[in-house]
Amino acid sequence: MPDAVQPSTQADSVAALPWWHGASIYQIYPRSFLDSNGDGIGDLKGITQRLDHVAALNVDAIWLSPFFTSPMQDFGYDVSDYRGVDPIFGTLDDFDALVARAHALGLRIIIDQVWSHTSDQHAWFGESRQNRRNDKADWYVWADPKPDGTPPSNWQSVFGGPAWTWDARRQQYYLHNFLTSQPDLNLHNPAVQEAILGVARFWLERGVDGFRIDAINFAMHDPQLRDNPPASGNHKRTRPFDFQNRIHNMSHPDIPLFLERVAGVMNLYPDRFTVAEVGGDNAIAEMHEFTAGNRRLNSAYGFNFLYAEQLDARTVADALAEWPDTPGTGWPSWAFSNHDAPRAASRWHGGHDHDDYARLIMLLLVALRGNIFLYYGEELGLTQAEIGFDDLQDPEAIANWPLTLGRDGARTPMPWVAAAPGAGFSTGKPWLPLGADHAARAVDVQRDDPGSMLHWTQMLMALRRSQPALRHGNVEVAVAQGNTLVLCRSWAGQRLVCAFNLGAEPCAVDLPACTILAQHGGATPSLLPAYSGLIARCA
């Protein structure tokens, strides 16, 4: 694997690695970034207008959440045309212009690919459901009912209720692991695999630099349709989905073989990148399978931090330990926040000052071994917004209210100009309300304040880019006790120490002689005050 290569000099070692190795990737949720036409929904032209802001963050790439043609029952993760841009976001020409501008600024473009399911409005499903004899009859997962008319298995949907819906035309049930309007593709079918690979080629030919592959461990099911056993343990259960050990509706052992076909296509296009989203009870084993060797995906990320209710040293150490620097082991990616999880600083600050805590965890994020994802608004320290029931858009939140508060609070519009209507996001009514304190954190306010979270983020991303040990290096967990965390990062003769106090009580440390490169909260080589940290170069 690339991370095992250790040439004699730092310059040689960096040159030997692909661009994505240790990259910082900025996630944009297109609906919420910038609305260019006043309809209240962000769009591709809006993103293009603000690419200078992204480039100034010193990140390497942008991940765009779905902008494809869709009825928007799940806000683009229900695709009705894999090769089209939904009119609310613009046109293919707008996408091409975005890619061209990003590349001119030195930014790579990664787009979502949703291959486990489509919308029920997709032409493929429209043909498949007509009868059992058409050319696409086996492109989705269809099954006869049990003799009593009930669904063929006990599988449950992520969004609540059975994962099977009856279709009167075929007199069969179809599988949907998510919404009823998101029928599962039958990726066991070679023709479906070919169609999906054709989609990948289409976007690669348009110049995209890689794919973030959504829910890939849902891509194949157990053809025998065996029931899932009950879940054991006392974990939190808010949906029927949580009551099962989900071993048959997902995580089929043939998924890695399909990913090898994906890698075969990617290898035809130089310098491209693939990262998988993998959740579930067996996520780490699957991430290792999906990224093993050089024949599958480049990277994967799970939910170690995204769903963690608290952050302490052991949580970080355990996550890093799951990705040892050994031959054949893949390269990890990490996110503290994204469109599916509450914003991390709001989730973790535990009563400490939110903004101070946001600075601390940004310092921690840049110190991790692997790729890092920065979610739009994290550079501003955006808080998790409170969204009332009447304003909810997220189907999961609506279906499971109030036990599942949903994802809308992390998807609110980006504030650009504090004094402008809608904080400069739109001249119309935004599709979601802005957070109550978000206008005060707008880009124009922070851009003029050298002590702002925005400037702190720009500095840290530049530091990570300039230090090979941070971006590419090995990691050793020197201390992980309570809230005290000390990491040692090394690469081609460079050695850095990264020390953090994630709690409210000061802690003494004994760090080697070092030159501090970044420091927060008064941290020194001998003392870490409450909620403080530093990154330093060892002598």
The CATH code that applies to domain 474-538 is 2.60.40.1180
For residue 38, is pLDDT > 70? yes
Q: How far apart are CA 442 and CA 381, in angstroms?
A: 10
Give the per-residue pLDDT at 238. 77
* 131-145 mean pLDDT: 98
Say whether domain 19-118+189-225+247-394+408-465 belongs to CATH 3.90.480.10.
no
519-536 mean pLDDT: 98
Q: Please tell me the distance from the alpha carbon of residue 216 to that of residue 220, in angstroms, as a whole number.
A: 8
Strands 299-301 and 331-335: parallel
Per-chain mean pLDDT for the chain: 95
State the pLDDT at residue 1.
36
Residues with Cβ within 8 Å of residue 423, at least 6 apart in sequence: 413, 415, 416, 417, 434, 438, 439, 442
Per-residue model confidence (pLDDT) at position 405: 62
Q: What is the pLDDT of residue 16?
A: 86
Pairing of strands 164-167, 24-28: unpaired
Q: Which of 214, 286, 289, 378 is catalytic?
A: 214
CA atoms of 384 and 480, how far apart (whole Å): 28
For residue 315, what are the contacts with CB-CB under 8 A and spacing of at least 6? Answer: 304, 305, 308
* Model pLDDT, residue 12: 64
Of residues 43, 74, 209, 277, which has the active-site annotation? Answer: 277
pLDDT tens digits, 469-482: 999 999 999 999 99
Q: Which of 198, 199, 165 is nearest to 183 (CA)?
A: 165
Q: What is the pLDDT of residues 449-462, one digit of tens each?
A: 999 999 999 999 99
Reduce the DSSP state of residue 5 to 3 states and report it: coil
pLDDT at 422 over 80: yes
**Spans of all domains in the chain:** 19-118+189-225+247-394+408-465, 474-538
Which residues, at least 6 apart from 204, have a Cβ–Cβ distance to it below 8 Å?
265, 266, 268, 269, 272
Mean pLDDT for the stretch of residues 99-117: 98
Reported pTM: 0.95
> What percent of the chain has pLDDT above 70?
97
Q: What's the pLDDT band for 132 if we cut at 50, 70, 90?
A: very high
What per-residue confidence (pLDDT) applies to 156?
97
**Do residues 50 and 416 lie in contact, with contact meaning Cβ atoms separated by under 8 Å?**
yes
User: What is the mean predicted confidence (pLDDT) over 10-32?
Assistant: 89
Mean pLDDT throughout 508-513? 94
Would you call 214 a catalytic residue per the annotation? yes
**Rounded CA separation 417/26 (Å):** 20
- What's the rounded Cα separation, in Å, for the pair 449 and 107? 25
Contact criterion met (CB below 8 Å) for 500 and 42: no
For residues 62 and 406, the model is more confident at 62
Instruction: State yes or no: is 322 an active-site residue.
Output: no
For the cut 70, the answer to whether the pLDDT of residue 126 exceeds it is yes
Percent share of the chain, pLDDT over 90:
90
pLDDT of 2 over the 80 cut: no
User: Within the chain, what is the greatest distance between any pair of CA atoms?
Assistant: 74
User: What is d(CA 296, CA 198) in angstroms, rounded to the nearest whole number?
Assistant: 17
Q: Is the pLDDT of residue 297 over 90?
A: yes
pLDDT tier at 4 (50, 70, 90 boundaries)? very low
- pLDDT over 80 (residue 5): no
pLDDT at 7 over 50: no
